[in-house]
Structure 1
Amino acid sequence: MRIVIAGGHGKIALLLAAVLTRRGDQVHALIREPGQAADIAATGGVPVIYDMERDSPADLAAAVAGSDAVVFAAGAGAGSGAARKYAVDLHGSVQLADAAEHTGVARFVQISTMGAGSPPAAGTDEVWAAYIDAKTRAEEDLRTRDLDWTILRPGRLTDTEGNGLVTLGPPPISRDAVPRADVAATLAAILFAGNTFRRTLELVSGTDSIESAVSAIR
């Protein structure tokens, strides 16, 4: 299968690319900086230079065309302001969904966050509130589209080693942490699992194997 990952140099995206290429999938990872290309190649993926804040929709459509699935793994990242949360976390997802629809790529997986779908807590700082609002609006946009979408909301992300044991289900589930490695493995497992299509799912560490957790979604 050919999969395009937007935000290809992110930590989860790099882990996901490695999982997918090991099982024989072809990964095209969208990155902003040519200097990131070696990291993509190290996963077995193909780097594609595309800046969603500057490059044209036609370039994005060309990158997506012919794929079996797209994954939105992009994010403005720590240290960015509210404006970039909307530019990347919201409008980046919208652009990728537009490209998927335009080119006939039905499968779309969006990495969101636990907390999306609800207003930020009172007293939340401006940047975090913008992040939650951007993720919420990106989810809402995706749900309106005639795509085979899945929204995955991980809990608090850690860089600890994954153990393949998770809790996965429709919201709400108890907020907890989850290793990025287990998020990547779960994304790989749900990518072509039809029972996860058009579902919003939350993910934290737990006691179920990833395979069992994905199979149990109804």
Structure 2
Amino acid sequence: MKVFILGISGAIGALLADKLTAGGTEVHGLVRKPAQQVDLAARGAETTLGELSTMSAAELARAASGSDAIVYTAGSNGGAREVTKAIDGDGVTKALEAARLAGVSRFVLVSVLPESWRERDNPDEVEYYFAVKKQADIAVTRSDLDWVILRPSLLVDDPALGTISLGPAEAHGEIARADVAETLTELLLEPRIRRQILELNTGTTPVREAVRANVY
């Protein structure tokens, strides 16, 4: 299997790349800087140099050509509106078109749990971020691709627990990025999970078991 990761230089994307390459999966991704290419090459991943916000869908399709799956882990984290729109919104729709052009049917999007940060007084930029993420989810679900949307709760950099709670609806808590990456790995290895939205939180079920419990 060959997987193309958008956001491969980010926290979740890099962890996912490491897990996939360790398991023998061929990994390719898009990076913005030559230094990132050097780092990822040393870890066994191939990369294409490019800027997601300015590339065309055709250019992105050429970078992803030959892949069996595209995983979209890129995100703006609720910063400036123009960045949020370019990465969390337009970037996703561009990646969907690139997948069609490249003939890649499997598309996995890392989104956000809708309840995230709802207990706080959010600035307008964060509310805009949630709105854009929602529209991206809609675009994915209306595509004809073999899609999966993963909505993790609040992301933290704690060590992996190896146990999660995963299903169509989960409580909002927090989840280690390493556990998100492990969940993505298992989802990619489970082709029977398709056209599903899955929410992810810390739990007590081993990751592989939790993923397989969502095969219908």
TM-score by length of 1: 0.93
Alignment pair present for 1:112 and 2:111: yes
1:35 and 1:6 mapped to 2: Cα distance? Answer: 17
Matched with 2:176 is 179
Which runs of structure 2 are paired with 1:113-132 in the superposition (5 Å)?
A: 113-115=112-114, 124-132=122-130
Q: Any gaps of 5 or more consecutive residues in structure 1?
A: none
Matches of 1:57 and 1:208 in 2, distance apart? 39
Alignment deviations for residues 159-188 of structure 1 (CA, whole Å, 9 cap, x no partner): 1110210000002x1111110000000000
What's 1:40 paired with? Answer: 40
Unaligned runs of 5+ in 2: none
* C-alpha contact (below 8 Å) 2:58/2:101 kept by paired residues: no
Q: CA separation of 1:122/1:159 partners in 2, compared to 1, >3 Å: closer, same or farther?
A: closer
Q: How many residues align?
A: 214
Q: Encode CA deviations 1:177-218: one digit per residue, 9 max, x unaligned.
A: 110000000000001313320000011110000111011003
Q: Which residue of 1 aligns with 2:206?
A: 209
Aligned twin of 2:160 = 162
Percentage identity across paired residues of the two chains: 37
Specify the alignment match of 1:12 in structure 2.
12
Question: Equivalents in 1 of 2:142, 2:151: separation in Å?
Answer: 18
Deviates more, 1:158-167 or 1:47-56: 47-56
Greater shift in the superposed pair: 120-129 or 192-201? 120-129
Query: Per-residue displacement from partner, 1:93-128 (whole Å, max 9, x unpaired)?
Result: 111110101121000000001117x9x789531110
Task: Output the CA distance in 1 between the equivalents of 2:120 and 2:25.
Answer: 44
Q: Secondary structure at the match of 1:9?
A: coil
Classify 1:33/1:93 alpha carbon distance in 2 versus 1 (closer, same or farther; 3 Å).
Answer: same
Q: In the alignment, what sits opposite 1:83?
A: 82
**Equivalent-residue separation in structure 2 for 1:52 and 1:193 (angstroms):** 28
Deviations 1:48-86 (A, max 9, x none): 1121112232211101111100000111246x3012111
Secondary structure at the counterpart of residue 52 of structure 1 = coil
CA contact (8 A) 2:56 2:94 kept: no
8 Å contact from structure 1 (residues 9, 39) kept in 2? no
* Alignment partners' CA distance in 2, 1:71 and 1:198: 14
Q: RMSD across aligned C-alpha pairs, in angstroms? A: 1.7
Q: Distance in 2 between matches of 1:43 and 1:138?
A: 31
Q: Which letter does structure 1 place at the counterpart of 2:186?
A: A
Aligned CA distance change for structure 1 residues 123 and 161 (closer, same or farther; 3 Å): closer
Aligned to 1:97: 96
- TM-score, normalised relative to structure 2: 0.94
2: CA distance, partners of 1:145 / 1:86: 19
Q: Work out whether residues 82 and 126 of structure 1, in 8 Å CA contact, stay in contact via their aligned partners in 2.
A: no
